[in-house]
Structure 1
Amino acid sequence: MEINQFLDATYLKTASQANLTEEETQQKVIELVKEAILYDYKLVMIRAIHIPLVKKILNEAKSNVLIGTVIGFHEGTYTTEEKLKEAKAAIVLGADELDFVVNYTAFKKGDLDLVRNEIIKGIKLCLDNNKVVKWILEVAALTNEEIIVISRLIKQIVFEDFGEENAKNVFVKSSTGFFKTKNNLPNGATLEVMKIISENAKPLKIKAAGGVRDYETALKMITLGVDRIGTSSSEEIIKREKNRNKGY
């Protein structure tokens, strides 16, 4: 298996979050893009501010690597209007795929109208502009039952409002990777969680993000039916695959 085309190589920390300067952060992004070109990853997932630079580097390299960015990140509590404004700006900058954080706080409070409305409008904006849209659930904040309900809700919206033919352009994604859990519990994708999402969201695409750091875990995710893996450990995963193919 060529695992590179499953990988969304990711760098989403702001300069302050990483305790770096803006210049150092930009250099991290440049290094990620060069790595993505070298290994032919599916996509680089970066903050919108970096899209013009990333697009320039990819164009100069004549690379097919896609550009993804995040919307409403990472809390998800932005208003629908704020998320749509952010998404429109990212589209203008040249993003190919937009990963929205579902307002899971509103969802947990039972405000399904708000959640349904933002999902419908977000999907419409992306599909109207020929973009792929992903919905980040933040699974560490949800119970298994809540994960089932919201996965089914997103699938229902796609089928009823946009047609099954658009299932290939809508993802259900596990996590931001930034959620703070208690007692060091997993804050991202686990095999259990991705199995639940797969069983309730398919035929929508699914993306495992948060905590996938090695080749063996990535392979298990793909076996479960995961279509994309968001990780900051892409190079380690690729190198492990190459060594494995060589019999090491």
Structure 2
Amino acid sequence: MDIREYLDSTYLKLSSQSGLTEEQTLEEVKKLTEQAIENHFYLVMIRPEYIKKVKEMILKVDSEVKVGTVIGFHEGSYTINEKVAEAQKAIENGVDELDYVINYEAFKMGDIDLIKNEFITGTSLGLKASKVVKWIIEVAALTDEQIKSICSYFSTWAQENFEKNDFGKIFVKSSTGFYKAEEGKPNGATFHAMEIMLKYSQPLPVKAAGGVRTYDEAVKMIKMGVKRIGTSSAKALSEKGNTNDSY
């Protein structure tokens, strides 16, 4: 199996999180992009402020690598208007895919109308611009029942509000990779969580992100039915290696 076509090669750390300067962070993003182009990964996932630069690098060499960014990252608590504004700017800057963080804390509080509005509004914006949209649910913050519930809602709302031929462009994604889980507990994708997501998100595709650390884990998730894998160690995984990175 050539897993490169499933990999979203990712760098989302702020300078304050990595201890790097702004210039050094940009260099890391450039290196990630060059590596993705060289290795033919599916996509590079970066912060919104780097979209233009990364897009220019990819177009300059006529590469097919896609550019994705995160919206409402990483807590998901931004208002819908803030998320829409951020997404619209990303679209104008040439992004190919939008990974929204759903307001999972509002969902846990029972505010289903709020997350329904986010899902429909954010998805509509992306689809109208011919973009792929992914919804990050942050599995480490949810119980099994909550994962089942939110995935079922997304499936229902997609089928009620969008065309069948658009379903493949509306992903449900496991994690940001930045959630602070309780000591010893995983903060991203697990086989158990992905199994629930795959079952209840149908007919929407699923992306595993956060915690996929070995080639064998990636292959197993792909065989389970996962369509994309977000990782900050795409090269290591593509070379059948392992990584200790959290994302």
TM-score, length of structure 1 as denominator length: 0.96
Between the aligned partners of 2:91 and 2:13, the Cα distance in structure 1 is 21
Show the counterpart of 1:245. none
Q: Does 1:120 align with 2:123?
A: no
Show the counterpart of 1:62. 62
Show the counterpart of 2:74. 74
Between the aligned partners of 2:56 and 2:166, the Cα distance in structure 1 is 29
Between the aligned partners of 2:118 and 2:169, the Cα distance in structure 1 is 17
Cα deviation code 1:85-124 (max 9, x no counterpart):
0000000011100000000000000000000001000010
Show the counterpart of 1:211. 211
Show the counterpart of 1:230. 230
Cα deviation code 1:137-179 (max 9, x no counterpart):
0000000000000001111111000022211110000000000
Show the counterpart of 2:167. 167
Between the aligned partners of 1:62 and 1:145, the Cα distance in structure 2 is 45
Moved more, 95-104 or 155-164: 155-164
Q: CA deviation at 1:182?
A: 1.0
Give SS of 1:78's match: coil
Cα deviation code 1:3-38 (max 9, x no counterpart):
100000000001111110001000000100010001
Show the counterpart of 1:42. 42
Give SS of 2:74's match: coil
Q: CA deviation at 1:204?
A: 0.7
Between the aligned partners of 2:151 and 2:164, the Cα distance in structure 1 is 15
Q: CA deviation at 1:183?
A: 1.4
Give SS of 2:18's match: coil
Letter in 2 for 1:139: V
Show the counterpart of 1:97. 97
Give SS of 1:62's match: coil
Is 1:214–1:233's contact at 8 Å kept on the other side of the alignment? no
In structure 1, the gaps of 5 or more residues are 242-248
Q: Does 1:14 align with 2:5?
A: no
Between the aligned partners of 2:24 and 2:212, the Cα distance in structure 1 is 25
Cα deviation code 1:29-54 (max 9, x no counterpart):
01000100011010000001011110
- Structure 1 runs (4+) greater than 6 angstroms displaced: none
Q: CA deviation at 1:203?
A: 1.8
Give SS of 1:59's match: helix
Q: Does 1:5 align with 2:15?
A: no
User: Which structure 2 residues correspond to residues 114-193 of structure 1 after superposition, within 5 A?
Assistant: 114-193=114-193
Is 1:177–1:187's contact at 8 Å kept on the other side of the alignment? yes
TM-score, length of structure 2 as denominator length: 0.96
Query: How many percent of aligned residue pairs carry the same amino acid?
Result: 51
Q: CA deviation at 1:61?
A: 1.1
Cα deviation code 1:55-78 (max 9, x no counterpart):
111011110000000000000000
Is 1:138–1:175's contact at 8 Å kept on the other side of the alignment? yes
Between the aligned partners of 2:151 and 2:208, the Cα distance in structure 1 is 14
What is the total number of aligned residue pairs between the two structures? 241
Between the aligned partners of 2:105 and 2:228, the Cα distance in structure 1 is 25
Show the counterpart of 1:244. none
Between the aligned partners of 2:73 and 2:14, the Cα distance in structure 1 is 11
